[in-house]
């Protein structure tokens, strides 16, 4: 594997890396000041477009294209919301950036605000990140004292204020309109679209929602140029006009059963096996890998035989996963029951569903109840078909819900059962030898202590 010099994580381990003085010593804020003096907002958008940056929050939508959806003649105000909720299980790359190099995030937010003509930016932060809150607020205060925030920045006529907004850490707030509802002080129910946030977002004004790592990438593109960014990663497929490529560095979270869990920076397109072996030191305790979550639990599962799949925006989809997601890899060794894994996954999504859409509210709840009955020794082979039917019919993709939480809940079910069918069938037959073949409806499991 060729050497790769971290850029997004270059400050990690540097004393006082979170301070303005340290960030300035690394060239920080000079790109923002240059763009402010020499470029128009539309030119900055074209700069990001030419770099091929795709959002790092999960969907991978081209960032510059997203900015271009804003109405050109709107009198304002226009808002930028930065998603720092980071509720996807196994994900902690945003936390590293906010705690160790908050000014990189702030500069990226400034540049993005200038490009989109936003005069107010909200950083939406999960409540469980108190240290990140302190570091970000201190960075905002330092930038304000240095004249980099506020009214008429550097005499340019551009004004910007950045505010932190603390959320209650609901998974649904990772969905951009759920986040917007929460910022407005309401229950975080995703909105029906259209209108999309670019037209009606925060306070019904044009709004862009981007992720923390995306902001850091914007700062690096401004510093090093779009050609540098495009020199990293996987080029677009010339045979597929719908593939915009997977360019730039990426922060991969690696946890679970590996020797060296952590947050690692590597080019987009590194394979899952390379990430586990070259960065994570291999599977722990000399065991073998059984499976891995490629990008957060909502992306599904890869079997060990699929570990040579590239971790870019295209790769995981070629082996039946939903996508790269947050690039949060969780390794599962040979001792783990996939039945237990799926039960844990279903329990998480049943808890996090906002309840607005019937297929998601009822589907996640019943998926959990079925898994609880299977684990209690009362499972049937018929249950696997019911789970797969639920997984194939609930979600935004089949058109039955407002947001994609139900799709995220469904993908682990579909992957786990389709890729580990023998293990599920064996478990059901062993634990329910008298009733595994029953096809008639059976009573729900009575859970002790349930209300």
* Final residue before a domain boundary, out of 231, 257, 272: 231
Cα separation, 332 vs 288, in Å, equals: 9
Domain check: are 42 and 188 in the same one?
A: yes
How many domains in the chain? 3
Domain check: are 40 and 147 in the same one?
A: yes
| 381 located within any domain | yes
Residue tagged 């991978």 (tokens):
60
| 13 located within any domain | no
Domain check: are 87 and 186 in the same one?
A: yes
* Final residue before a domain boundary, out of 169, 201, 231: 231
Instruction: Provide the pLDDT for residue 241.
Output: 86
Domain check: are 328 and 351 in the same one?
A: no
Domain check: are 250 and 373 in the same one?
A: no
Provide long-range contacts, Cβ within 8 A and 24+ apart, for 367-371: 367/391, 367/409, 367/413, 368/343, 369/444, 369/445, 371/339, 371/342, 371/343, 371/346, 371/347
**Across 240-285, where does the E strand assignment appear?**
246-247, 249-256, 262-267
**Across 98-173, where does the E strand assignment appear?**
120-126, 161-167
Residue 278's CATH number: 3.10.20.600
Domain check: are 43 and 182 in the same one?
A: yes
Domain check: are 119 and 173 in the same one?
A: yes
Domain check: are 156 and 270 in the same one?
A: no
* Final residue before a domain boundary, out of 208, 231, 254: 231
Domain check: are 194 and 128 in the same one?
A: yes
Q: How far is CA 438 from the centre of its chain?
A: 40
| 48 located within any domain | yes
| 178 located within any domain | yes
Helix (H/G/I), strand (E/B), else coil: 112:
helix
Residue 355's CATH number: 1.20.1440.230
| 123 located within any domain | yes
Taking the chain (451 residues) in runs of 10, the rounded mean pLDDT of each run is: 82 95 97 97 97 93 96 94 95 97 98 98 95 98 98 96 93 94 95 95 97 98 97 93 94 98 97 97 97 96 98 96 96 98 97 96 96 96 97 95 96 98 98 94 67 41
Domain check: are 206 and 300 in the same one?
A: no
Domain check: are 329 and 351 in the same one?
A: no
Q: 142: domain range?
A: 20-231
Domain check: are 304 and 170 in the same one?
A: no
């Amino acid at each position: 594997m060729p050497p790769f010099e971290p850029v997004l994580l270059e400050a990690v381990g540097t004393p006082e890396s979170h301070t303005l003085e340290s960030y300035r010593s690394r060239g920080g804020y000079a790109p923002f000041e240059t763009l402010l003096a020499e470029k128009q907002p539309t030119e900055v958008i074209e700069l990001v477009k030419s770099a091929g940056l795709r959002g790092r929050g999960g969907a991978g939508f081209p960032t510059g294209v997203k900015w271009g959806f804003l109405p050109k003649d709107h009198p304002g105000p226009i808002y930028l919301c930065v998603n720092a909720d980071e509720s996807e299980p196994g994900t902690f790359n945003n936390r590293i950036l906010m705690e160790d190099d908050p000014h990189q995030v702030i500069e990226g937010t400034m540049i993005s605000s200038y490009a989109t003509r936003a005069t107010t930016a909200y950083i939406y932060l999960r409540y469980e990140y108190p240290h990140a809150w302190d570091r970000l607020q201190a960075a905002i205060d330092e930038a304000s004292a240095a004249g980099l925030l506020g009214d008429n920045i550097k005499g340019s006529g551009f004004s910007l204020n950045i505010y932190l907004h603390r959320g209650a850490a609901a998974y649904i707030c990772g969905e951009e309109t759920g986040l917007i509802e929460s910022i407005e002080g309401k229950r975080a129910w995703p909105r029906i679209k259209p209108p999309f946030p670019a037209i009606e977002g925060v306070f019904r004004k044009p709004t862009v929602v981007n992720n923390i790592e995306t902001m850091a990438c914007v700062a690096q593109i401004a510093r090093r140029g779009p050609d540098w960014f495009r020199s990293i990663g996987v080029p677009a497929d010339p045979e597929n006009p719908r593939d915009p490529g997977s360019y730039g560095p990426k922060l991969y979270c690696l946890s679970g059963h590996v020797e060296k869990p952590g947050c690692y920076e590597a080019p987009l397109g590194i394979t899952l096996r390379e990430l586990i072996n070259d960065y994570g030191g291999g599977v722990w305790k000399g065991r073998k890998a059984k499976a891995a979550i490629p990008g957060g639990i909502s992306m599904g599962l890869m079997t060990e035989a699929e570990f040579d799949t590239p971790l870019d925006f295209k790769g995981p989809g070629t082996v039946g996963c939903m996508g790269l997601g947050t690039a949060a890899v969780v390794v599962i060794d040979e001792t783990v029951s996939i039945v237990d894994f799926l039960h844990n996954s279903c329990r998480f999504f049943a808890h996090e569903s906002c309840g607005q859409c019937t297929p998601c509210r009822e589907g996640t709840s019943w998926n959990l109840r079925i898994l609880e009955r299977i684990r209690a020794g009362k499972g049937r082979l018929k249950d696997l078909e019911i789970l797969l039917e639920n997984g194939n019919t609930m979600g935004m993709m089949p058109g039955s819900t407002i947001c994609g939480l139900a799709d995220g809940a469904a993908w682990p079910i579909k992957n786990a059962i389709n890729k580990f069918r023998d293990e599920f069938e064996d478990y059901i037959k062993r634990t329910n030898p008298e009733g595994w073949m029953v096809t008639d409806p059976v009573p729900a499991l009575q859970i002790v202590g349930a209300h």
